[in-house]
Amino acid sequence: MKKILFLMVAIATAAFASDGAVANETLKGYSVLAAGVGLGLAALGGAIGMGHTAAATIAGTARNPGLGGKLMTTMFIALAMIEAQVIYALVISLIALYANPFLG
């Protein structure tokens, strides 16, 4: 935890200690890095959630084939909600890249 805090302070110091033009370029670079890492983590979490959802639906259908239709409908609703979270992360990443409020 201390190492992460030290790294965050060091990055912030480097970003705020330089002049305006260099600070803007540094902030743009950090925005690209944050957008890439954030979107990658969101996609990873969404993929894991979708995998668990599909596995649970398949297991439920295997145990009781008569409920297959209801389980499939519920699965599609759950997949849409999981995908919505990833799309929200994409929107935030695009805002950080193209309409960054911190660049002034």
Sequence ranges of the domains in the chain: 31-104
- Which pLDDT score, from 0 to 100, does residue 97 have? 85
Does 13 score more than 70 pLDDT? no
Confidence of residue 104 (pLDDT cuts 50, 70, 90): low
Domain 31-104 CATH superfamily? F1F0 ATP synthase subunit C (1.20.20.10)
DSSP-assigned letters across all residues of the chain: -HHHHHHHHHHHHHHHHS-HHHHHHHHHHHHHHHHHHHHHHHHHHHHHHHHHHHHHHHHHHHH-GGGHHHHHHHHHHHHHHHHHHHHHHHHHHHHHHHS-TT--
Query: Residue 28: pLDDT band by 50, 70, 90 thresholds?
Result: confident
Per-residue pLDDT band for 19 (boundaries 50, 70, 90) equals: low
pLDDT at residue number 73 = 95
Q: What is the C-alpha to C-alpha distance for residues 91 and 49, in angstroms, rounded to an integer?
A: 20
Q: What is the pTM of this model?
A: 0.71
